[in-house]
Chain A
Amino acid sequence: MSELLAPFFEASVRLGVPLALAALGETITERSGVINIGLEGSIIAGAFAGALGALAWGAPGGAIAGLMAGGVAAAVFAFFALGLGADQIITGTAVTIGGLGLTAAAYETRFGPTGTALSLPTLDPLPVPLLAELPLLGRALFAQPVTAYAAYLLAPVLWWYLQRTAWGLELRAVGEEPCAAEAAGVAVVRTRVFATLFGGAMGGLAGVHLSLAHTATFAEGMSAGRGFIALAVVVLGRWNPLGVVAAALLFGAASALQFSLQALGLNLPYQLFLALPYLLALLALAGWVGRTRAPAALGQPWPAGR
């Protein structure tokens, strides 16, 4: 059994980490009252810039480039949606489509249309001594690339930030009741811009995980809808960083299940397993998680009535 389960858990974590990173960022964004469905655009931008950066400066340089590219994509969103008060859904969709298109075009320009797979410097797994030797879950949790450890670490840090710091309180107030926050002297737009940029940078890091840790290459559209799944992960995790990481691992497990089930030799079309995370996303959004309450001002422009 364990020879079947250990690879399954490892795949779950490996597939769950990019979701966790993107969803943690989006959690902060959404707690400030902004719904950035341009997250997918940040992920693909991060994956591409990560690839370019890795070729130029090696894997760590690629990671930083990807982080910044995700932030830049979110900055485009923030400029239109928060600066000019454009509709958040439409702006986010534009950033996603634009991000997918631009990276595909830039990839072709830079590397030619043949689609020869790039070979990139990678973020290799860093096994934690001792912990990685634990049976069953050891390798799954503790023989992962640095991006996974970033996700583990950020979950409690972000929880602490939201619940225990003055900044976190202000951010939550902005997402719930911007009028009240403004009256208390909080700069609403500035807080939201910060939260959006942070979310985008985290999306970029998720992209870095895809191109530098997960595959060691870049391919057009390799984000493959993870930005949207991450939005569902945020809901399933109830806008709580700790819950969000757990939800991301659950989605990772749903994705990993396809490999395990195929390995079992079940006579079902593999596309069915591919659809599993998306079914889970639908269930999550349909309120399967019980009555979750989104931040009250989520998606609402500020100042109101603009």
Chain B
Amino acid sequence: MSRTRSASRTEPEAELIELRDVHQRFGAVAALRGAGLSLRVGEVHALLGENGAGKSTLLRVLAGLQAPDRGELSVRGRVVHLHTPRDAWDEGIGLVHQHFTLVPRLTVLENLALGVRGPSGGWRGGMRLPLEHVAQRAREVAAATGLAIRPNEVVERLSVGDRQRVEILKVLLREPRVVALDEPTAVLAPAEIERLLALLRQLAASGRTVLIVAHKLDEVLSVADRVTVLRAGRTVLEAERASVNARLLADAMLGQEAREAYDNAPVLGRGSVVGGNHRVQARPGHTECIACLERVEVWPAGEAAAAEDPGAEISLDVHRGEIVGVAGVEGNGQRELALVLSGRRAPVRGRAVLPPDPAFIPQDRSREALARDFDLAENFALALHRQGPWRHGPLLRWSALRTTSEKLLTRYRVLAEGTHALARTLSGGNQQRVVIARELEAGHDLLVAENPTRGLDLAASAFVHGELARLREGGGIGIVLLSTDLDEVLTLADRVFVMVRGRLLEVPAAERTRSGVGELMLSASAAADEGVEKEAWPGDA
């Protein structure tokens, strides 16, 4: 990658932003225990770390959303105290949130105008909604950055990638000196990621400072000028891009021992995946079909997506002993497909033949799979209580349930203080282990897993992947893996599909690469994007 570096970067330069010795405690959890970060003018700076390392907390401190227990923030050498987001803007710091902070039922333009007061403040500023003013500014910024958006569209009808562009534009409208982005690539298709990274370089070249939080090393290495690594709330590494490599960063993120343990974990690939999979042809065919969708429509009638894509149908057979992988950009119907396959929702149209009571690992485990204020034995009981060993007539056999729970906690290596621990007290990775343990213990024929490793750290992800692979080898169960993590799907699945606008497209074995699947993902939505530029901005004559 060729890149122009300004001469000033090689000289020692005053730090634009400096965070020193930041401490932040939430109840019993110390999220930050001496984190530091320094940002220079015109650089792309990557902030790396495992889940729970404190990246998001540090960003919240920087954006004025969280006043730290201890620590110092200085802007151009001047110590400042940020108590509200407005304080942060006044210092020129803008945050693009991980979970977008757009109001779904407002239009793009209304979202951009939210919180913006016209040139006259106070009483008159509140009375007037400066839509034309904002539209004018947005058009200028959009033209300068190539961020194409549809100003009059209601946000809830936008794709995730479009929402992100609106979110970025919203931050840029405030003319920040520092643009901080929290895991911006997590929700994007490969081509969109490239577009985003190019935009970040462009912003840095125009003199702004970009701080990107990420967990994918290759992306970071391709875009960053400097890197800061957090581990367990502390800054453990701060370095120029040129002086680090992927292995060094992984060591810094995980600690060396943990990284080696991860390397030896049972699942093969991380990072880039090459096409071709030796299991491809072998599995289906001679095995029993356990779940079958015939011409199923998943979009609920009346929703915008249904109106835009009439007649989107899905037909799919799932066999024992295979993993069917479904990739796709979020919001293309995977959620709805998962709900249908897991028996939680009837298909809008078509026929779904499913085994009784399929196992389901939903994306949002802490809300959909676990009762947060139940203890672990009670959470296990939720799925197991209908079966013989654990009940006696109308009564539950609590002692048997406790025994089973203890056994499962041990087998799945859940870090918890016994079966009486409340589900909410567990970390995300351990909650996921509980869900997997429970869903598999009940002995189902079909497992539907929806983004099963989202939000998990590398070790926990490796564990989940190992379990899925082990189940497949067992041959008794069919697995549908729906994931926005393309690498995950390519690594694990026997057959790979891409979900695009409510349709399921099978990926031929030859095209089973990141770029091949990425093209397929975007091909169907490209048609929709063509209308983007044509829509008029308010104020256009």
- Residues on A lying within 8 angstroms of B by beta carbon are 164-170, 172-173, 176-177, 179-186, 291, 293, 296
Contacts and interface: CB of A to CB of B under 8 A. Distances in A.
B176 to A, nearest CB: 13
Interface stretch (B111-119, B234-242, B286-294): B111-119
27 contacts: A164-B129, A166-B113, A166-B116, A166-B118, A166-B125, A166-B128, A166-B129, A167-B127, A169-B106, A170-B114, A172-B103, A173-B106, A173-B114, A176-B105, A177-B101, A177-B104, A180-B101, A180-B103, A180-B111, A181-B114, A182-B85, A183-B65, A183-B97, A185-B84, A185-B85, A185-B86, A293-B105
Nearest to B118: A166
B115 A184 contact: yes
B104 A170 contact: no
Contacts of A168: 129
A120 B518 CA distance: 77
Contacts of B128: 165-166
A216 to B, nearest CB: 38
A179 B125 CA distance: 23
B318 interface: no
A293 B65 CA distance: 30
Given A176-B106, A296-B105, A186 B114 contact: yes
Contacts of B100: 180
Nearest to B89: A185
B110 interface: yes
A180 B113 CA distance: 12
- Most A CB atoms within 10 A — which of B103, B111, B115, B129? B103
A169 B85 contact: no
A172 B106 contact: yes
A169 B129 contact: yes
Interface residues of B, number: 30
Interface string B67-106: 0000000000000000011100100000101011111111
B156 to A, nearest CB: 10
Contacts of A167: 126-127
B115 A185 contact: yes
Contacts, number: 71
Given A165-B128, A176-B105, 16 more contacts: A165-B127, A166-B113, A168-B129, A169-B106, A169-B110, A170-B114, A172-B106, A176-B103, A180-B114, A183-B101, A184-B101, A184-B115, A185-B89, A186-B114, A291-B302, A293-B105
Contacts of A177: 101-104
B102 A180 contact: yes
Contacts of A165: 126-129
Nearest to B97: A183
Interface string B191-218: 0000000000000000000000000000
B174 to A, nearest CB: 10
Nearest to B95: A183
B65 A296 contact: no
B130 interface: yes
Contacts of B115: 170, 181, 184-186
Contact of A179 (B89, B101, B118, B126): B101
A177 B103 CA distance: 6
Contacts of A181: 103, 114-115
Contacts of B105: 176, 293, 296
Contacts of B116: 166
A186 B438 CA distance: 43
A78 B402 CA distance: 45
A72 B111 CA distance: 34
A184 B97 CA distance: 11
Contacts of B99: 179
- Most B CB atoms within 10 A — which of A165, A177, A291? A177
A297 to B, nearest CB: 10
Given A184-B101, A291-B302, A166 B106 contact: no
